[in-house]
Structures are given as C-alpha cells and as structure tokens.
C-alpha cells in the first residue's frame, strides 16, 4: 500500500528516528516539487497562449520547447515518487498547489514582466531541486539525488533561455 509522507520535525529524537524523519522530510519535499513542477508547467502554458506583443513569436516557440520538456520531466518525477511507494496528489487542486512560486501578471501585454516572473519561478524550482539533491544525499538515496540534479539543471537552463528574451 502506498503511503503519503507527513512532514514532521527533527527535534528530541534518537538517531534512527532522525534518519527516518530526514527521509520523510526529503520525500515530502519531492512530492512538493511535483506540485511545483505541475504549477510551473501550467504557468508556462499561460505565457505560451497569452503573451501579446513583439516577443510573441519567439516566446511562443521557446515556451513550447520548454513545456514539452517539462511534460516529460513531470512524468519522470511522478514515476520516481511512485517507485518509492509514495502516493502522488490525487486531485488537480492539490497537484497545482505551489505557494513558493510567484503568480504571473494578468496583463498579457506586459511581456517582460510575464517572462521575468516565469524565469524567476524556473530559478526557484532549480534551487529547490538543488536542496532536494542535498537532502537525498544525506539519507543515501542516490537515485533521488540524481533525479534532483537532472531536474535542477533542466530548470536552470529554462530560466536562462527565458531571461535571454528580456530587454
């Protein structure tokens, strides 16, 4: 039976409990990154569909490349979570919860602002995957560490590509 990993603190515990709790914290972080990746994928669609102005065509093509890569990355993260016998979110609202990411502006003519927020969110996701890599290394989970490094690199590149479209 799959389990949903709860977040718990690391205070006043023995070494075995601390290691188990580090594992739970790490895997909760992994599930939260699935949520953030899904949310950012949806933000990428929004920019892809709604940006208006002189940067439309180049940004439209770039965001299409990015969301295609993100779809595969999202699936890889979800499959890795399931391989750990951990449940992924069961509803769309839960899947798209990502409080750590900034909302996009509602002005589709604010090209640079939309691109800048999207790029910043890709950078935040890259940094969070980097932290997951450190957490998974501390619990000896090489596969999660490798996945985190791979996704962090992909998001850092996406952030760089988006920023290259700013004035």
Of residues 104 and 17, the one with the higher pLDDT is 104
Rg (CA), the chain: 17
- Report whether pLDDT(5) > 80: no
Distance CA 13, CA 18 (A): 6
Note the pLDDT tens digit of each residue in 100-113.
899 999 998 999 99
Task: Classify 158 as helix, strand or coil.
Answer: helix
- Report whether pLDDT(95) > 90: no
- Quick one: CA dihedral 118, 124, 127, 133, positive or negative? negative
Domain boundaries, the chain: 18-163
User: Average of pLDDT values for 70-93?
Assistant: 95
User: Average of pLDDT values for 138-150?
Assistant: 97
Note the pLDDT tens digit of each residue in 116-126.
999 999 999 99
- CB atoms under 10 Å from CB of 17, counted, come to 12
CATH no. for 18-163: 1.20.1260.10
Distance CA 29, CA 22 (A): 10
User: Average of pLDDT values for 22-36?
Assistant: 95
């Amino acid at each position: 039976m799959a389990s949903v990993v709860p977040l718990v603190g690391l205070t006043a515990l023995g070494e075995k409990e601390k290691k188990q709790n580090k594992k739970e914290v790490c895997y909760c972080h992994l599930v939260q990154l699935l949520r953030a990746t899904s949310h950012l994928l949806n933000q990428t669609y929004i920019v892809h569909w709604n940006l208006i102005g002189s940067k439309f065509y180049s940004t439209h093509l770039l965001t299409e490349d990015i969301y295609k890569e993100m779809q595969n990355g999202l699936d890889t993260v979800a499959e890795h979570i399931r391989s750990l016998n951990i449940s992924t979110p069961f509803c769309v609202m839960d899947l798209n919860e990502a409080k750590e990411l900034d909302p996009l502006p509602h002005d589709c003519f604010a090209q640079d602002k939309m691109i800048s927020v999207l790029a910043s969110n890709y950078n935040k996701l890259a940094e969070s995957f980097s932290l997951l890599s450190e957490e998974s290394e501390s619990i000896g989970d090489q596969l999660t560490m490798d996945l985190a490094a791979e996704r962090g690199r992909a998001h850092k590149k996406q952030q760089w590509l988006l920023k290259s479209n700013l004035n």
